[in-house]
Copies of this chain bind each other. A is one copy, B any other.
Amino acid sequence: MNRSELVAHLHRKKSFLCVGLDTDITRIPKHLLGEKDPVFAFNKAIIDATLEHCISYKINTAFYESRGIPGWESLGKTLDYIPKTHFTIADAKRGDIGNTSAQYARTFFETFPFDSVTVAPYMGEDSIRPFLEYENKWTIVLGLTSNAGSRDFQQLVLSDNHQEKRVYETVLEKVSRWGSPSNLMFVVGATQASDLTHIRTLLPDHFLLVPGVGAQGGSLQEVAEYGLNKDGGLLVNASRAIIFAGGGEDFAAKANQVAKDYHTEMKSFLPE
């Protein structure tokens, strides 16, 4: 998917919601466990129930990999089921030396044809370049994450020509020079929404993938206020808050309601 398609969908629907399919098989409703592929049955119902309110789906690969080959089968079927209108994210946080990153790019852009994949920046430029070589595919690089551990390394201060600059700011600045706002996005944790104003000065045009709204406690209003740009420029992800909103036979209806609530709030932040 290219940028103009993504932006058009965002404005048409007045939504910047991404639904995170962190489908933990131990948490899906009991009545689905008799299905041939319970995880796919769950995802299918969640997608049907949320499609009208979101513009993107994020598949957290860890919850599929941990089940081995059946998990990858569920992942493949889920990806196939998501309509082409919706931007797909492999939340895989890969990254290795160049020839290995090229294999990861093939995994998530060809073998499983996602629109995008999340990538960890620690190994630097040659670990990220192979992902950027694909046309109409997106590389979503970790900037500032939403977890407590973001303080351990991302927020340390660098001694850079007497300018005080944090590790994550240098990541945002350097990585943004390796691609463009048409093939690069960044993960920016919503639990630190006050940092968004500053991040928008560094990255006025890029899409930001914002996890951590909902179960992780970030405020949607703050994210919208400080994060939206002229093209929208946000994908706000909610996973558990939507997909596990209900635990019984009405799980899809409950997910629909929570997604609708996010959508309603998002509409209020986007101008006519």
Instruction: List the B side residues contacting A151 at CB < 8 Å.
Output: 124
A122 to chain B, nearest CB (A): 5
Distance between Cα atoms of A93 and B125 in the complex (Å): 16
Determine if B124 and A62 form an interchain contact, defined as CB atoms under 8 angstroms apart: no
Q: Quick check: is A179 within 8 A (CB to CB) of the other chain?
A: no
Determine if B111 and A67 form an interchain contact, defined as CB atoms under 8 angstroms apart: yes
| CB-defined A-B contacts under 8 Å, sample of 5 | A69-B76, A123-B142, A124-B154, A153-B174, A158-B167
- Of all chain B residues, which has the CB nearest A68? B111
Interface pairs A-B: 4 shortest CB-CB: A124-B149, A124-B152, A159-B159, A62-B103
Name the contact of A152 in the complex, choosing from B69, B76, B154, B174 (C-beta under 8 A). Answer: B174
Instruction: List the B side residues contacting A159 at CB < 8 Å.
Output: 157-159, 164
**Of A6-14, A94-102, A193-201, A256-264, the one touching chain B:** A94-102
A106 to chain B, nearest CB (A): 4
Determine if B72 and A69 form an interchain contact, defined as CB atoms under 8 angstroms apart: yes
Instruction: List the B side residues contacting A66 at CB < 8 Å.
Output: 103-104, 106-107, 110-111
Instruction: List the B side residues contacting A174 at CB < 8 Å.
Output: 152-153
Q: What copy number does this chain have within its complex?
A: 2
Interface size on A (CB < 8 Å)? 61
User: Which of A96, A142, A164 has the largest number of chain B CB atoms within 10 A?
Assistant: A96
A174 to chain B, nearest CB (A): 6
Determine if A96 and B62 form an interchain contact, defined as CB atoms under 8 angstroms apart: yes
The 8 A CB mask of A80-108 against B (1 = contact, 0 = none) is 00000000000101111111110110110
**Known contacts A93-B120, A120-B120, A125-B152, then 4 further A-B pairs from the complex at CB < 8 Å, ordered by chain A residue:** A62-B100, A123-B150, A124-B150, A159-B159
Do A156 and B153 form a contact, CB below 8 Å, given A126-B147, A147-B127? no
A25 to chain B, nearest CB (A): 10
Determine if A167 and B147 form an interchain contact, defined as CB atoms under 8 angstroms apart: no
Distance between Cα atoms of A152 and B98 in the complex (Å): 14
Do A156 and B154 form a contact, CB below 8 Å, given A107-B62, A149-B125? no
